[in-house]
């Protein structure tokens, strides 16, 4: 009897263990499926305006980089053909003269460069909105996003080391993100590129001053890079006085219509240098 009862106990324990294993496997499948669903459908379950702002900033910066290259290639202008004082490089690209003997200095100031960039940005607004729409599509499946393409672009701010583009939303059409009890708005976003466009403009202005002999902005008693040994502009001597300068210079062959021309190379992250054309006549 003892042995038979002992066997019965072991049989019952075995049945219980098998049953428990079966239950665990049953619920294990539901648990894993639930976790996987949480990783996919729950990815954007909590709304957040910051990634939406990042999309707007990133798309504006892409077009801003294109604008910097476009304007730099053309001597600081968006549409050189609107000026009567322009020539073309060896590829047929129109370039506004930085200086001519008949019209004087034509190189835009830093503030005017910002305006030229803004003209390009306005002409290519559709590229920005298309980029934004493509990159917020997944967020829109989970969140309510309003007025994302109702932004206003001010003039870009050009400095020695960066170019900044203000992105503003009017008070009547603020950028908003909503989901459930969450709601957030934004009225301003700042795009910024570490591009030394201002240094290129300053070097171009000094080249024009050295070329025409007026030395604008340069104390003649301290000038050491203009017209040295018959060379109108000595880059290495200029850099000694402007040691933070990262823009390099190449003198290149000119279109016969121009007397002097230079290529300024502006370093750009993760891409080839940007060419700033300087034409003189």
Average pLDDT of the chain, as a whole number: 81
Query: Would you state the structure tokens that stand for residue 103, as one six-digit string?
Result: 């019209």
| Confidence at residue 36, expressed as pLDDT on a 0 to 100 scale | 44
| Confidence at residue 253, expressed as pLDDT on a 0 to 100 scale | 63
Using 50, 70 and 90 to split pLDDT, how confident is the model at 102? confident
| Confidence at residue 238, expressed as pLDDT on a 0 to 100 scale | 79
Using 50, 70 and 90 to split pLDDT, how confident is the model at 118? very high
Give the chain as a 3 state SS string. CHHHHHHHHHHHHHHHHHHHHHHHHHHHHHHHHHHHHHHHCCCCCCCCCHHHHHHHHHHHHHHHHHHHHHHHHCCCCCCHHHCCCEEECCCCCEEECCEECCCEECCCCHHHHHHHHHHHHHHCHHHHHHHHHHHHHHHHCCCEEECCCCEEECCCEECCCCEEEEEEECCCCCEEEEECCEEEEECEEEEEECCCHHHHHHHHHHHHHHHHCCCCCCCCCCCCCEEECCEEECHHHHHHHCCCCCCEEEECCCCCCCCEEEEEEECCCCCCCEEEEEEEC
Neighbours of 234 (CB within 10 A): 17
Specify the pTM: 0.78
Decide if pLDDT at 124 tops 70.
yes
| Confidence at residue 11, expressed as pLDDT on a 0 to 100 scale | 66
Decide if pLDDT at 40 tops 70.
no
Residues 194-215 have pLDDT tens digits of: 999 999 999 998 888 887 766 5
Decide if pLDDT at 91 tops 80.
no
Q: Which of 86, 158, 175 is nearest to 118 (CA)?
A: 158
| Confidence at residue 37, expressed as pLDDT on a 0 to 100 scale | 46
């Amino acid at each position: 009897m003892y042995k038979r009862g002992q066997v019965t106990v072991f049989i019952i324990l075995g049945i219980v263990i098998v049953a428990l294993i079966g239950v665990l496997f049953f619920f294990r499948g539901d648990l894993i499926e639930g976790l996987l669903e949480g990783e996919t459908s729950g990815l954007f379950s909590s709304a957040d305006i910051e990634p939406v702002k990042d999309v707007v900033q990133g798309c504006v910066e892409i077009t801003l980089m294109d604008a910097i290259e476009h304007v730099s290639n053309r001597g600081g202008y968006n549409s050189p053909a609107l000026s009567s004082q322009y020539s073309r490089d060896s590829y047929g690209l129109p370039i506004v003269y930085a200086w001519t003997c008949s019209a004087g200095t034509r190189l835009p100031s830093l503030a005017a460069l910002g305006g030229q960039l803004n003209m390009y940005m306005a002409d290519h607004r559709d590229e920005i909105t298309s980029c934004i729409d493509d990159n917020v599509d997944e967020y829109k499946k989970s969140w309510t996003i309003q007025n994302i393409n109702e932004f206003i672009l001010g003039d870009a701010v050009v400095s020695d080391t960066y170019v900044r583009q203000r992105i503003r939303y009017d008070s009547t059409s603020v950028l908003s993100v909503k989901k459930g009890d969450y709601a957030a708005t934004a009225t301003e976003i700042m795009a910024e590129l570490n591009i030394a466009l201002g240094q290129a403009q300053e070097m171009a202005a000094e080249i024009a001053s050295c070329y025409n002999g007026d030395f604008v902005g340069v104390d003649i008693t301290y000038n050491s890079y203009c017209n040295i040994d018959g060379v109108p502009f000595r880059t290495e001597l200029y850099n000694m006085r402007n040691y933070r300068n990262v823009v390099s210079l190449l003198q290149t062959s000119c279109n016969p219509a121009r007397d002097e021309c230079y290529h300024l190379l502006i370093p750009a992250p993760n891409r080839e240098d940007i060419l700033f054309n300087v034409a003189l006549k």
